[in-house]
Each structure stands twice: as C-alpha cells, then as structure tokens.
C-alpha cells in the first residue's frame, strides 16, 4: 500500500518542522538525535515554563516562540522563515490529544516530522504496572460525559479517562462510576503530573474521600475487578446494581441492565410456586432475581455460551439462591430433545418463560416454548429491534395469547459540570403473551 502525504505549495527551500515530544526531564532526557535538532534550530517553539531550562542547556541565544496557546502558535509559525530549521516542543506524543492535529490541519502534514515521547496513557499504566493492550480510553476535555457513560456500559477490562477540571475532574469520574452501579467492580487510580518530579499515583478505595489537593489535570484509570461478595441478605429484594453480577470476561457488558430487569420481572409476574424458564439467560440475572422474590419457584436457566452455566451458578451463589437446573446448551436443541441432557419431568411445563436468546432462530424457539407453556402461563420476549416485533406478535396471537407491547427507554443521571445530565440507555421493546 502506498501512502501519499498531503502536498502543499511551499517555498522550494522550505525546511521540515520537527515536532518533538518531551518528558519532564527534557531537553537533557531526549535522545541525542533530537537534542541535535534543537541545537541546530534557528527558532524553538516551547511552553514558557520550559524556556529558562532550554536557555541554560543550550548556552547560546535562540529565538523562542511561546506555545502555550496553540492558536497563537500556529499564527506565529506561519510567519517564520520557512527556510530556517525550527522545532516545536510538545508534551508526550504530539499526535495523541496534543498539538499535532492542529499543526497538521493548519500547516499541512507534509511539512511536519513527528518525534513522539511516551503518552500520559502509557505512563499511567506503567506506573500501575499493568499491561494496557486491552485498555480503552475516553477524553472529557471539552466533551460531554456521554462517551464515558457508554464506555462503562460495555464493562471494559481497563478504562483510562482524561479528565476535564471544568467538568468536575476526578469527582465527576467517581460520581459517574457510582451512578452506573459499578463502583464495586473497578479499582480507581488517579495519576497526577505524570513524568514530573511532583508525580503522584493514588489508588482510591470505595469509601475514601478524594484528596483536597488533587491536580486539576489528571488521568483516572479504572481497572475491572470481581466485586467482593456480600451477605445476600444485605442486597435489595430485586433491582440489584449491575456490578453485583459476575460477567463473561470476553464479553463484558452483555447483560440485562437493572432498569430492564425490573420491568421484565413485573411482566413475568412470577407465581409463588411453579416453573420459570430463562432461555438465553446470559449472566442469569433475571431468573436469579425472580428466585429472590419467589424462593419456592423452580428456575431452569439455559445459556449456550461457553462457561455460561458456571457463571450463572457463581452468580446464584452470590445471591444465595438455588436454581433447579442450569444448562449450558442450545435452547432449541434442548427443547427438541436433540441433546443428551434431559429436562427433569417437573420442569417440562413452564408457568413463565423469558425468551432472551434465539437470535435469528427466535421464532423457532418461541414456537417450541408455546407448545410447552402451561395453560395459565406467561411468556415475555424482550426485543432490541422493531423488525422482530411483527413476527413475535403474530406467533403469540396465533397461539391465542393476549399480547401486550411496550417500549422501555431508561435514562441514568450522570454528573455534568455542576449539574446532572440524563444519559439514555438502549431502548427495549417488551412483548408479553398471556393465556386468557
């Protein structure tokens, strides 16, 4: 593949501008080649705080251009002698939330040569001592916090947040973590002044107060952990926080969220006694909370994802409930009797069914469910797309069930500056069928 750089008409003798990433020890800490570029430069663009050290190190007069305001810097660079060698000193990697993008937009990338230093993100994970190839990151600098909220919903293994002091800084990050119900599922690290002599790395425990002297600009790093189990009696009766449940490490965030869970339980209306099938159970959250409401209910949870049964059993133990059967199988194959696993006789006619899986075969699965549903039973089908609605509705009506359709759109409050923003969650269609 051939990469063509942007072509801009410059003076034929125009020199490249070297954009050099620095750390706190610059210029002495820079590689020899980059030090030589600085010594040979006719002009140097650098933050005012760095210029005295540069003067001392160079021991020769140079023309300095202030780089503290990127817009003024770009204007100044457009007026310099294009034939004279010059350098721009930036922090870390100039192309990672640095001045590199603006320079490229205004001056043209063809005239720029970049020499990156480690980013603050790299330094943060280095200080914590954790690999970061699986990390995600978001920036709150001048941005709405919605991106952070959306990232949290996916339950990443590691998440770095570039804070914005004008949007609450570390306080905002912690508030969003709590409002998402995930404060027990992450270790929170605060990384200040990375690479500088006054660098500070803090791990903040769940109940710790934030230090009053926190730096305005910092990186918050969230590292996923298994939430410590509690006495099941201390949990709410239902509507548990999402962070209570263990999840698949390779598919974090794929679980029924708290608000949806509450509505599904209401639509299922679990009886005091009877049989509940949770097909496509995922983490098992809905069926397990139904057991907390109705301890004498018999739950059969079916999940075909590898390790699904073990995960559901682990969550059942955390909640102090005991499902009648937890099966790692394809629900369609199971109901057709095509697997060696047999459904116990007392579980073969359900009073309540939640069809949470099936995918493209949902209609086939629903037909098999309707053949076994108790005459007074209820089946509930949550749908993520409107295209699925017509097929599901038709199947339920053909089975002479009374059909109810609703849509649940929930919002979660997230801090925004000195107020609160309501962040929308994915809408879910709820379709239920009840025997008349």
Q: What percent of the chain has pLDDT over 90?
A: 46
Average pLDDT, the chain: 87
User: In the chain, what are the domains?
Assistant: 17-117 (3.40.1010.10), 121-224 (3.30.950.10), 234-434 (3.40.50.150)
Which of 25-34, 154-163, 264-273 has maximum average pLDDT? 264-273
287, 313 in Cβ contact below 8 A? Answer: no
Q: Is 71 helix (H, G, I), strand (E, B) or coil?
A: helix
Q: What is the pLDDT of residue 221?
A: 94
CA distance 277 to 284: 11
CA distance 6 to 411: 44
Q: Is 78 helix (H, G, I), strand (E, B) or coil?
A: coil
Cα three-residue angle 166-171-177, rounded to 5 degrees: 120
Q: What are the start-end ranges of the H helices in 294-402?
A: 308-319, 331-335, 362-372, 389-398
CA distance 274 to 296: 8
Residues 363-414 have pLDDT tens digits of: 999 999 999 999 999 999 999 888 889 999 999 999 999 999 999 988 887 7
Q: What is the pLDDT of residue 149?
A: 78
93, 123 in Cβ contact below 8 A? Answer: no
Q: What is the pLDDT of residue 244?
A: 87
- Find the Cα–Cα–Cα–Cα dihedral 243, 247, 251, 257, rounded to 10°: -50
Does residue 65 carry a pLDDT above 80? yes
Proportion of the chain in helix, strand, coil states, percent, rounded to 5: 35, 25, 45
Q: Lowest mean pLDDT: which of 228-232, 314-318, 356-360, 423-427?
A: 356-360
CA distance 350 to 370: 10
352, 274 in Cβ contact below 8 A? Answer: yes
Token code pair at residue 372: 């076994």
Q: Lowest mean pLDDT: which of 72-81, 207-216, 380-389?
A: 207-216
Cα three-residue angle 345-346-351, rounded to 5 degrees: 125
Token code pair at residue 22: 């620095």
Buried b vs exposed e over 170-201: b needs ≥16 C-beta within 10 Å?
bebbbbbbebbbbbbbbbbbbbbebbeeeebb
Q: Using 50, 70 and 90 to split pLDDT, how confident is the model at 3? A: very low
124's enclosing H/E stretch is: helix 120-128
Does residue 249 carry a pLDDT above 70? no
More confident site: 72 or 227: 72
Does residue 63 carry a pLDDT above 70? yes
């Amino acid at each position: 593949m051939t990469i063509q750089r942007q072509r801009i008409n410059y003076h034929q003798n125009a020199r490249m501008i070297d954009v050099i990433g620095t750390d706190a020890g610059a210029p002495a800490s820079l590689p020899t080649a980059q030090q030589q570029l600085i010594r040979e430069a006719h002009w140097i663009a650098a933050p005012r705080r760095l210029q005295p050290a540069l003067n001392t190190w160079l021991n020769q007069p140079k023309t300095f251009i202030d780089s503290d305001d990127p817009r003024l810097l770009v204007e100044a660079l457009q007026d310099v002698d294009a034939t004279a060698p010059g350098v721009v000193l930036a922090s870390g990697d100039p192309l990672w939330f640095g001045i590199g993008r603006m320079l490229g937009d205004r001056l043209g990338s063809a005239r720029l040569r970049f020499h990156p230093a480690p980013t603050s993100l790299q330094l943060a994970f280095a200080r914590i001592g954790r690999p970061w190839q699986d990390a995600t990151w978001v920036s709150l600098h001048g941005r709405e916090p919605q991106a952070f909220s959306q990232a949290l919903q996916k339950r990443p293994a590691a998440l770095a947040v570039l804070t914005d002091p004008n949007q609450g800084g570390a306080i905002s990050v912690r508030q969003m973590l709590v409002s998402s119900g995930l404060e027990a599922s992450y270790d929170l690290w605060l990384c200040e002044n990375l690479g500088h002599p006054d660098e500070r790395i803090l791990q903040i425990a769940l109940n710790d107060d934030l230090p009053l002297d926190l730096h305005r600009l910092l990186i918050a790093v969230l590292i996923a952990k298994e939430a410590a189990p509690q006495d099941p009696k201390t949990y709410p009766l239902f509507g548990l926080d999402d962070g209570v449940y263990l999840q698949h490490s390779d598919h974090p965030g794929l679980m029924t969220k708290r608000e949806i869970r509450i509505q599904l339980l209401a639509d299922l209306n679990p009886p005091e006694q009877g049989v509940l099938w949770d097909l496509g159970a995922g983490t098992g959250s809905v069926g397990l909370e139904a057991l907390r409401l109705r301890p004498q209910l018999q739950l059969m949870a079916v999940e075909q994802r590898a390790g699904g049964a073990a995960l559901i059993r682990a969550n059942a133990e955390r909640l102090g409930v005991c499902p009648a059967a937890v099966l790692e199988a394809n629900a369609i194959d199971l109901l057709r009797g095509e697997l060696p696993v047999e459904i116990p006789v007392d579980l073969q006619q359900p009073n309540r069914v939640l069809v949470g899986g099936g995918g493209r075969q949902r209609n086939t699965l629903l037909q098999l469910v309707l053949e076994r549903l108790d005459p007074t039973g209820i089946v509930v089908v949550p749908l993520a797309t409107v295209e699925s609605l017509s097929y599901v509705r038709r199947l339920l009506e053909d089975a002479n069930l009374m059909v109810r359709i609703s849509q649940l759109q929930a919002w979660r409050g997230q801090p925004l500056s000195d107020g609160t923003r309501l962040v929308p969650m994915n809408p879910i269609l709820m379709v239920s069928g009840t025997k008349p």
